[in-house]
A and B are shown apart, each in its own frame.
Chain A
Amino acid sequence: MIMLSRELAGASAKPIILSLLASGESYGYAILQRIENLSQGELSWDDSTLYPVLHRLENEGLLASSWRVAETGRRRKYYRLTAKGQEVLETEKRQWLRVDAVLAQLWGLEPRLA
């Protein structure tokens, strides 16, 4: 299990969440599960850290939330990407890829994506 540095963990939360929600709306627990699956258990976040990030992104207008009744009968708060969020996602994507390209050159690796 790689422990990411705090800065890296903090910085990567935004693009990861935005990207996840790009494919459709979701709720907190589900997001956490998907991240664990995607990273093969390497990235595992606390609820106590995820939810504040979701709320912050909502404050910034990148996400919108609504309450639905789930199959368990309990209420769940669902988050979806707004138009602004979409734009910001694109920006984030470009930035990360650029960084990746530079690092790949420096480390003599093939850049993952063009």
Chain B
Amino acid sequence: MPTAFDLEKAVAAWRRPYEHNRAFSEEDLEELEGSLRDRVDVLVEAGLPEETAFQEALRRMGSYGTAEAEYRKVYWGKRRRRGEVLHELYWRAAMWKNHLKIALRQLKRRPLYTAINVLGLAVGMACCLLILLYMQDELSFDRFHEKADRLFVVPNEHPVEGRALSTSYSLASVLESLPDVEQTTRFWPDRERPVMRKEVQRRANQHILLAEPSFFDMFSFPAVTGDPAAVLNTPDGAVISESLARMFFGEENPIRKTLEFEHFGDNIYSVTVGAVVKDVPRNSSIRFDLVAPLSLLGDESYLSRPGFFFATTCVQTKTAIAVETLNRKIAETQPEKAAVDGWFASSALPLPALYLSGLTADGLKGQPKFLYLFGSIALVVLLISVVNYVNLVTVQATQRAREVGVRKALGAGRSQLARQFLGESILLSITALGVSLMLTGLALPAFSRLFDKELAFWGAEYGFVLPLMAGFVLAVAVMAGAYPAFMLSRFQPAAVLRGAGVRTTPARRLGLRQSLVVFQFTVSVTLIIVTAIIYHQLGYLQNKDLGFNGEQVVVVDLPRSVSASVRESLKQRVLSHPGVVGASLANGIPGRFQMGYGRPVDEAAPQNRTDAERVRFRPAVVDYDFIPTLRIPVLAGRSFSPDFPADVSRAYILNRAAAERLGWSPEEAVGQTFKLGPAETPEGEIIGVVEDFHIASLHQEIEPVVLQLHTLSPVGSLPFKLVARLVPEQIRNAVGHIEQQYSQVTPDASFQYTFLDEVFDAMYRAEERLSRIFTSFAVLAILIACLGLFGLAAYAAETRTKEIGIRKVLGATISNLVLLLSRDFLKLVAIAFFLAAPLAYVAMSRWLEDFAYRIELGPGPFVLTGALVLAIALLTVGYQAIKAAHADPVKSLRYE
């Protein structure tokens, strides 16, 4: 039996949504209500029962939605008319302040969730920020030159050898003839060479660059004193950097003072300082501490002799033209004019593109591969954290469904609720941004060091990072707030209050959230496996038997000015110390045989070979004690010995690889005739074969090496390295002794030494760096993935409270329940693992191919990672599961 119709109640019910809407003023409501009642009266008079009359009148009134829309349109007009605009604005501001206050209160009510939310987002943002700063830096190289958009570098290209930066001297003249080219310059890029100032006995390695006067015309290196371009026009003027000036001259004025440096051909050049420029900025491919005139080396005919490739050639075009246009013009000068020895001018590239082109020297190479890799990682990490964030917010939102229901029943409009959630998420995002800025600031120094950079937030000329991040934060806030707001505001308040809750997807189905967790864990597992393998390989590289014993071997650089007899005497004095068990003079050391200015590779023609079968070897000039000092195993024959005077001019020792190259076993090789060098070199004999020892990084195969005694060597390969093996307990004393002897023998030189194993370790900087990077990313990824899992587990636990309650009542134990709840998540982790493993395998096999010496990819890292990830996931899920399993069934089943 329906209750009797109460007109007043019905009208009141009709009024309610209007009352809460700002678009309807009190007057408007009164007007509308009056209209409604008038209609009802008329209909009742016409004979309809009150209830029917009311329904009909309601129908004729029009819908709330239309009314709201139409009233909104005239709202501002009304306010303006009444002069209440300011009033309105104040009200709106107060409203937002209120939203934020409520939002803050909400967030404080659940500190754990809020903290996880903020942290997760902040970590993702910080990671992204760091990577963006790195990318910004990498892309900023060489852009500071005023004429940067008109500067191009023209490299050399060989059909077999590929591209290289060193061109011939004459290339520039050819290019200058092109109509678009305004001027050209060539320079010998910086080499680290000793610089000396005799008067104060100062000697230090500095970067020396040889250039023409147009150098300072084309490139922007602002002067502090003097005119750099004019200085280079003089035969021996030099331009120095501020730092060099400070180092060698202190507070004195360096102008017109003399400096000396060693360069090509072991010559010493003397220059007069004519100008000082500001230190070269860090993001420049062109580096120098001192610039001297190219003409110091010799005259034009000397510099332009065929086969002499040393110059980096740059052109400046009249206007900013496209690089393709320039290249077409260059191609038109081929092949007759510019080709030398099979090398010809390759396509030019704009100067700002040089850094990432891979053409520059190893210390100064940009890594475009890293750029892409990191860019993708940044995106992925950000995506993961945003997804996490949305996930967690949604989870919390469903927990607040009841609150939403109450609000809606009290008449809150959808837009009001949406604004509420939006306010909360904006607050969270901004907080997360703040935290991420702090995290980035903390991590930036270590991160910069990882890449030998100096990254900073501000002061970047090419800065796109900060505005990008700010815009991004806003986008995230809006997106993340919009989704739950949208979802929630669609709830029917009655259903929610009744406790039916949100429609849930059973945890077993692979819905969107589950797929996201799988994705996160796949990324994490992949990263962990990759990290483990990189670590393994790095360890292998560092500990591999290098073919010699390097731990207590110290290498000292000797100045070129020292004569042979002095060198020999130094060696004897060094040997006199009890802590030194062996010493040797050589022109290179394992790991650095390619140092030296001569042609690094000669061709040898053993007796029974024709010209066509000449083989290339790497020559090394050593003394009698080299092999014993380094303890290189002798496989066949003997080492050099003073008992055989012919050794000095005729003896060669090969390494195993060299013998193999010639088709002999070590025993067969001994006694064969052999010569290394041009046709007029007298023949010699192979007196012994030693074990292979690594002369370069383990990236490369061992090359065939030929050892010979120093008096056979051509100029430029003189032994300027003193190699000494020390007794482990006496290393410090021994080094001190060596230094003492050194300074007695070469008073104006500075003592520099390295340990042999350090030399090799330095080669693996890149791999070490990679290892550290991947470790950080792996940790990060796992952290974020666990956050995601945590959220998902929390969600599932919430929605299954009734099920858990019933099971408990029916007698399930805590462990039963924990297993039940965890099972589904562990399945997800398992799926992730089986997706990640092949991915990691493929990626790592490819990476390892780069190394001539590498580990085998065994199941070890995979199994270990699987176990680790499983354990972590169990821990994460376990917490939620245990908490849920302990819930009081009485409470959870109450709302039936």
**Chain A residues with a Cβ under 8 A of chain B:** 28-29, 32, 44, 46-49, 51-52, 55-56, 58-60, 70, 72, 74-77
Distance, CA A42 to CA B173, complexed state (A): 91
- A51 in contact with B32 (CB, 8 Å): yes
- A48 in contact with B74 (CB, 8 Å): no
| B77 touches which of A28, A46, A51, A56 (Cβ 8 Å) | A56
- B61 in contact with A75 (CB, 8 Å): no
Other than A55-B78, A77-B31, give 18 A-B pairs with Cβ distance below 8 A. Answer: A29-B38, A32-B35, A46-B61, A46-B62, A46-B67, A47-B36, A47-B60, A47-B61, A48-B63, A48-B70, A52-B71, A55-B71, A55-B74, A55-B77, A56-B77, A58-B81, A59-B74, A59-B81
Given contacts A48-B70, A55-B74, A59-B81, contact A75 B34 (CB under 8 A): yes
| A59 touches which of B30, B63, B77 (Cβ 8 Å) | B77
| A76 touches which of B34, B78, B80 (Cβ 8 Å) | B34
Distance, CA A76 to CA B80, complexed state (A): 23
Distance, CA A57 to CA B810, complexed state (A): 70
Q: Which of B27, B38, B61, B66 is packed against the most chain A CB atoms within 10 Å?
A: B38
Q: Which residues of B contact A29 (CB under 8 A)?
A: 34-35, 38-39
Given contacts A51-B28, A52-B74, A75-B34, contact A46 B80 (CB under 8 A): no
- A47 in contact with B81 (CB, 8 Å): no
Given contacts A56-B74, A77-B27, A77-B31, contact A48 B39 (CB under 8 A): no
Q: Mark B26-49, 1 if CB is under 8 A from A, else 0.
A: 011011101111110100000000
Q: List 6 A-B contacts (CB under 8 A).
A: A47-B32, A49-B70, A51-B70, A52-B74, A70-B34, A77-B34
Interface assignment of B73: CB less than 8 Å from any CB of chain A: yes
Q: Which residues of B contact A49 (CB under 8 A)?
A: 62, 66, 70
Given contacts A46-B66, A47-B32, A75-B30, contact A52 B73 (CB under 8 A): yes
**Chain B residues with a Cβ under 8 A of chain A:** 27-28, 30-32, 34-39, 41, 60-64, 66-67, 70-71, 73-74, 77-78, 80-81
Q: Which residues of A contact B80 (CB under 8 A)?
A: 59
| Closest chain B CB from A23 CB (angstroms) | 20
- B41 in contact with A52 (CB, 8 Å): no
- A72 in contact with B41 (CB, 8 Å): yes
- B31 in contact with A48 (CB, 8 Å): no
Distance, CA A101 to CA B71, complexed state (A): 35
- A48 in contact with B81 (CB, 8 Å): no
| Closest chain B CB from A77 CB (angstroms) | 5
Q: Which residues of A contact B38 (CB under 8 A)?
A: 29, 72
Which 4 pairs between the two chains have the least Cβ-Cβ distance? A46-B62, A48-B62, A59-B77, A48-B67
Distance, CA A75 to CA B61, complexed state (A): 19
Distance, CA A32 to CA B34, complexed state (A): 13
**Residue of chain A at shortest CB distance from B81:** A59
Distance, CA A57 to CA B777, complexed state (A): 64
Given contacts A29-B34, A77-B31, contact A48 B66 (CB under 8 A): yes
Given contacts A58-B81, A77-B27, contact A47 B62 (CB under 8 A): yes
Distance, CA A99 to CA B210, complexed state (A): 87
Q: Which of B31, B70, B73 is packed against the most chain A CB atoms within 10 Å?
A: B31
Q: Which residues of A contact B71 (CB under 8 A)?
A: 51-52, 55
Q: Which residues of B contact A51 (CB under 8 A)?
A: 28, 31-32, 35, 70-71
| Closest chain B CB from A65 CB (angstroms) | 9
Distance, CA A55 to CA B25, complexed state (A): 12
| Closest chain A CB from B607 CB (angstroms) | 104
- A47 in contact with B35 (CB, 8 Å): yes
- B31 in contact with A74 (CB, 8 Å): no
Q: Which residues of A contact B36 (CB under 8 A)?
A: 47
Distance, CA A32 to CA B81, complexed state (A): 25
Distance, CA A46 to CA B65, complexed state (A): 12
| B37 touches which of A58, A60, A74 (Cβ 8 Å) | A74
| Closest chain B CB from A64 CB (angstroms) | 11
**Residue of chain A at shortest CB distance from B67:** A48
Q: Which residues of A contact B62 (CB under 8 A)?
A: 46-49
Given contacts A47-B62, A59-B80, A59-B81, contact A28 B35 (CB under 8 A): yes
Distance, CA A46 to CA B37, complexed state (A): 14
Q: Which residues of B contact A28 (CB under 8 A)?
A: 31, 34-35
Q: Which of B35, B60, B63, B64 is packed against the most chain A CB atoms within 10 Å?
A: B35
Distance, CA A59 to CA B74, complexed state (A): 8
| Closest chain A CB from B753 CB (angstroms) | 90
Distance, CA A46 to CA B67, complexed state (A): 9
**Residue of chain B at shortest CB distance from A44:** B60
Q: Which residues of B contact A32 (CB under 8 A)?
A: 35
| Closest chain B CB from A114 CB (angstroms) | 36
Distance, CA A110 to CA B30, complexed state (A): 46
Distance, CA A73 to CA B80, complexed state (A): 31
Q: Which residues of B contact A48 (CB under 8 A)?
A: 61-64, 66-67, 70
Q: Which residues of B contact A52 (CB under 8 A)?
A: 67, 70-71, 73-74
Given contacts A49-B66, A72-B41, A76-B34, contact A56 B61 (CB under 8 A): no
Q: Which residues of B contact A76 (CB under 8 A)?
A: 31, 34
| Closest chain B CB from A78 CB (angstroms) | 11
**Residue of chain B at shortest CB distance from A70:** B34
Distance, CA A51 to CA B74, complexed state (A): 10
Distance, CA A81 to CA B66, complexed state (A): 26
- B78 in contact with A74 (CB, 8 Å): no
Q: Which residues of B contact A75 (CB under 8 A)?
A: 30, 34
Q: Which residues of A contact B73 (CB under 8 A)?
A: 52, 56
| Closest chain B CB from A20 CB (angstroms) | 16
| Closest chain A CB from B129 CB (angstroms) | 49
- B34 in contact with A74 (CB, 8 Å): yes
Q: Which of A32, A52, A77 is packed against the most chain B CB atoms within 10 Å?
A: A52
**Residue of chain B at shortest CB distance from A52:** B70
| Closest chain B CB from A21 CB (angstroms) | 16
| Closest chain B CB from A29 CB (angstroms) | 4
Q: Which residues of A contact B37 (CB under 8 A)?
A: 72, 74
Distance, CA A30 to CA B752, complexed state (A): 105
| Closest chain A CB from B75 CB (angstroms) | 9
Distance, CA A5 to CA B393, complexed state (A): 45
**Residue of chain A at shortest CB distance from B31:** A77
Distance, CA A106 to CA B71, complexed state (A): 39
Distance, CA A29 to CA B37, complexed state (A): 10
Distance, CA A31 to CA B39, complexed state (A): 13
Distance, CA A36 to CA B79, complexed state (A): 31
**Residue of chain A at shortest CB distance from B23:** A52
Distance, CA A70 to CA B339, complexed state (A): 105
| Closest chain B CB from A71 CB (angstroms) | 11
Q: Which residues of A contact B34 (CB under 8 A)?
A: 28-29, 70, 74-77
Q: Which residues of B contact A77 (CB under 8 A)?
A: 27, 30-31, 34
**Residue of chain A at shortest CB distance from B64:** A48
Distance, CA A44 to CA B35, complexed state (A): 15
Distance, CA A56 to CA B71, complexed state (A): 9
Distance, CA A75 to CA B28, complexed state (A): 12
Q: Which of A47, A56, A59 is packed against the most chain B CB atoms within 10 Å?
A: A47
Distance, CA A29 to CA B81, complexed state (A): 24
Distance, CA A32 to CA B38, complexed state (A): 12
| Closest chain A CB from B8 CB (angstroms) | 14
Q: Which residues of A contact B67 (CB under 8 A)?
A: 46-48, 52
Q: Which residues of A contact B27 (CB under 8 A)?
A: 77
Q: Which of A48, A75, A76 is packed against the most chain B CB atoms within 10 Å?
A: A48
Distance, CA A56 to CA B73, complexed state (A): 9
Distance, CA A59 to CA B66, complexed state (A): 20
Q: Which residues of B contact A55 (CB under 8 A)?
A: 28, 71, 74, 77-78
Distance, CA A32 to CA B42, complexed state (A): 13
Distance, CA A60 to CA B30, complexed state (A): 22
